[in-house]
Structure 1
């Protein structure tokens, strides 16, 4: 029993949210393309370190990393509940097996093998090859190189957790009173201008409890283990829960649209503060300069700023989409359909291009632009020719033929991610 107190969604809102989901995936391609240029010195964590590092791309990756996956998992929770109520529990499980479990199972070996080969090729160059985080092969379980496909693994965990929790709640709350109380509490939180701060509290606690955390790490992603770490569970799980609860009261999205300017200003301010504090933590840790307070205090301040920045930026991105990306767009619809495929296949392609240009004496903007201008059209061509009208496209995005723009908006729930 759902106690939604807000009106049903409009197709315009669903178009905007589907665009948010798609752009969150596509920004991941930009982020990974930039990683070989990060000026991290001895702290290399990528397969290759380019000969022309870029502080600008360091800032770009920091900004993207703040909000991208939280926004993605919020949309996942929103569309997951939509799909569950459209299909029923059995239909939802079947759909997730087809569109999440199957792609993870099939795609992982197809992308891991070329990635492993590229790491070996990169080892022939200075500042290239395996990184300490990669470990050996075969991995000692639960260590496992999920690579960039970790998000599918975490989605599966969250779907299972959501279904079990929903079953338990319905069993104990047959009258729906507890759910109604949760809806009222959630509505009060979202109506408050302090909503980002309230939602940031769990993330703040888990970040501040990590003695080695700095802002440049962000939320630790579970890409090297089958046991999802606590930071990922708290950050991405809470985002998934917020998306689920937003779908129960879709009218609350109007608040994010109305506050887009306020949250955008707050997000920009908090990101700048987070970046400055992350830099300060690194400098104090390296003893390059002495701060007026101890390292633990600087790290705590950085965690506070970063946790606030996560939710302020997530709300800003959604608010901006609702304000400026409402309405049907064939281009956005096409990119939304293509984004899943592009993200799944992009990493070995991007890595190969990074290795190819890493030793060239070109300015970093030329190298970075070259990587994107080769990788993205190539991947789009593969989607258009090999995926869009095929069984693979139907698995990833559902049936397209005969859909109206309004139906296409609802179809955005097919991937639930």
Structure 2
């Protein structure tokens, strides 16, 4: 069974583009909130003198779903590109637009983050550097990918998808089975079915800090099992959804249900674990699994709801949304040291946390948009990140 296409294959999917940009830009909000979290001195480059548990709400809710949402859409758009380009051209395109930014951006971003961290330590120590231990040598198990881990994970997902596709070939039985699974997962029970394996993986993860959700695979070239299940299943589901894109129309009509379930599950998780970060390892047991499953269900319900909302309300062409969709990739790659530097500056003042947070977010966004417009959009960097831009008259396609 094949459903009708969501849009003609040459038409840009503006609603999904907008939701993908939202997923990336939410990362800016999440990271901007971190220095105001209670206990930030134990896990972040700087901590503010005006912490607030309400900053925990700003961090906690988008962190539940933003990367699930991103990898779902990444899988959807990846298969679309694979079908349009063919396998060899697809691999070249993904290396150019994902691999090269990772290789070119990782070291400068890491050095900028370390520089901001050293500046923060210098200020906190009264203008001199405190003694610090030597970092362990780099190895595959100890490799600071920073927030650019998502690029590395995408490359792994592309490789896995192409290997599975090559292994299966054109088996009609395999395709029919995949389509049946996709229809099941895209239905009303989808968030439950997708949440159960992820919840189990998180609950069984060694040293799982439950408040922070899916363990971020940013410190090793070997991603942890929970992250593999979370982002691998999201990418694979998105890839398979692109075979039957008409299924997404059901999400556009069911978004109120998924949003209500997301809000209820999120409220339940927050009631259990609290607004402020818990910095202790979750104990093994049924209670931890129940929380992990509820957390995963909330994340997937948010994902279904936001995709549905995007298709329902953002599918028309908008120059502003198109611009932000193009800019969001660059913004996410370079945002972290900029945000951290602003957090260090604002840690020296004593204003209400919300004023400082909004100021950090506003200044960071202004600087990042300016850098995109002046240094990236109409240059070889923009062509590398976003592909060649169409003439203005063709942008709506």
Q: TM-score, normalised by structure 2?
A: 0.92
Could you tell me whether the CA contact under 8 Å between 1:214 and 1:299 is conserved in 2? Answer: no
Counterpart Cα distance in 1 of 2:171 and 2:45 = 55
Could you tell me whether the CA contact under 8 Å between 2:45 and 2:120 is conserved in 1? Answer: yes
In the alignment, structure 1 residue 272 sits paired with structure 2 residue 275 = no
1:283 Cα deviation after fit: 7.8
Q: Which runs of 5+ in 2 are unaligned?
A: none
1:400 Cα deviation after fit: 1.0
Q: TM-score, normalised by structure 1?
A: 0.88
Structural mapping, 1:71-86, within 5 Å: 71-86=69-84
Structural mapping, 1:200-349, within 5 Å: 200-210=195-205, 212-279=207-274, 296-349=285-338
Give 3-state SS (helix, strand or coil) of 2:316's partner: coil
What whole-Å deviation, never above 9, does each CA across 1:203-247 have from its counterpart, x for those lacking one? Answer: 022012125434312101111111111111000000001101110
Distance 1:224 1:371, change over 3 A: same
Structural mapping, 1:147-226, within 5 Å: 147-170=146-169, 174-191=170-187, 193-210=188-205, 212-226=207-221
2:99 is aligned, of 80, 90, 101, to 101
- Correspondence for 2:64: 66
Counterpart Cα distance in 1 of 2:378 and 2:299 = 37
Counterpart Cα distance in 2 of 1:150 and 1:393 = 21
Distance 1:281 1:105, change over 3 A: closer
What whole-Å deviation, never above 9, does each CA across 1:280-317 have from its counterpart, x for those lacking one? Answer: 9988979xxxxxxx973432221121111111111011
Range 330-339 or range 309-318, more displaced: 309-318
Counterpart Cα distance in 1 of 2:182 and 2:45 = 43
- Correspondence for 2:5: 8
Q: Which runs of 5+ in 1 are unaligned?
A: 287-293, 408-417
What whole-Å deviation, never above 9, does each CA across 1:101-140 have from its counterpart, x for those lacking one? Answer: 000000111111111111111113449999xxx9815434
1:274 Cα deviation after fit: 1.3
- Correspondence for 2:118: 120
Counterpart Cα distance in 1 of 2:67 and 2:28 = 13
- Correspondence for 1:57: 55
Counterpart Cα distance in 2 of 1:22 and 1:282 = 27
Could you tell me whether the CA contact under 8 Å between 1:214 and 1:302 is conserved in 2? Answer: no
Could you tell me whether the CA contact under 8 Å between 2:56 and 2:276 is conserved in 1? Answer: no
Q: What is the aligned residue count?
A: 390
